[in-house]
Amino acid sequence: MKRKQKNKLFLKAEKGVLTAVKKLILENPILISGLSLGPVVAISQSLKAGVSLSVAFAIIIVPVLVLFAVNPIKIPKSIRVILCALLSSLFFIPAFWFAKNIFPEVSDKVGVFLPLMVVNPIITAHSGEAVRDKRPLRSLIDGLITTVGFSLVMIFVSAIREILGKGTIWDKPIGNMQRNISFLLPFMGFIIVGLLAAGARRLSMLLQNKEKGESAK
């Protein structure tokens, strides 16, 4: 009896892990659809910059999605896109304050791309789901999961480029590590994101094959 309960718990945990992987990696808007690729490549030269943009992204997307979900009025797509930009502009103010005051050393670099968050395609796409579902809690969770997925890519790429391009992490030197400044150039950011996207697609194929094999049994 205990063994059956343990197996059920294990299967439940495995299912939860697979769901998290699908949400964070296999449905990642950057890796799968290439959304917000420009800011990710341009900003990801240091871990501080990556963290700064990730938190600013959360400050904007989470409340915007919740506000769309609590709105009882049916909003046409053309109006929704404009309204999404207006709401994002409102929450851009605390996002800009955060970048300016918490990470002043990278605020000038990040600040150039923060205004683009107002018309970020990821926020616009998920706002449509929030309008259709009309479930604030689900929209809150969706905003948080989307933020984590965005942050994972942003922080990973930023850390790799800073370590290999500057020989530092969080602006602190890593021993006598040799640096290669080519990793700080935009093309290297595209290459790293491309490799991550290829890995995500490969993982997606493996999981699909596994699900097909289990259903065939």
pLDDT in tens, 111-142: 677 787 888 888 888 888 888 888 888 889 88
Domain assignment present for residue 15? The answer is no
Residue 204 lies in a domain: no
Confidence of residue 161 (pLDDT cuts 50, 70, 90): very high
Residue 14: pLDDT above 60?
no
- Buried b / exposed e over 63-101, threshold 16 CB at 10 Å, is bbbbbbbeeeeebeeeebeebbbebbeebbeebbebbee
50 found inside a domain: yes
Does any domain span residue 98? Answer: yes
Write out the residue range of the structural domain in which residue 147 sits. Answer: 37-193
pTM above 0.85, yes or no: no
199-208: pLDDT as tens digits:
888 887 877 7
- Domains of the chain: total: 1
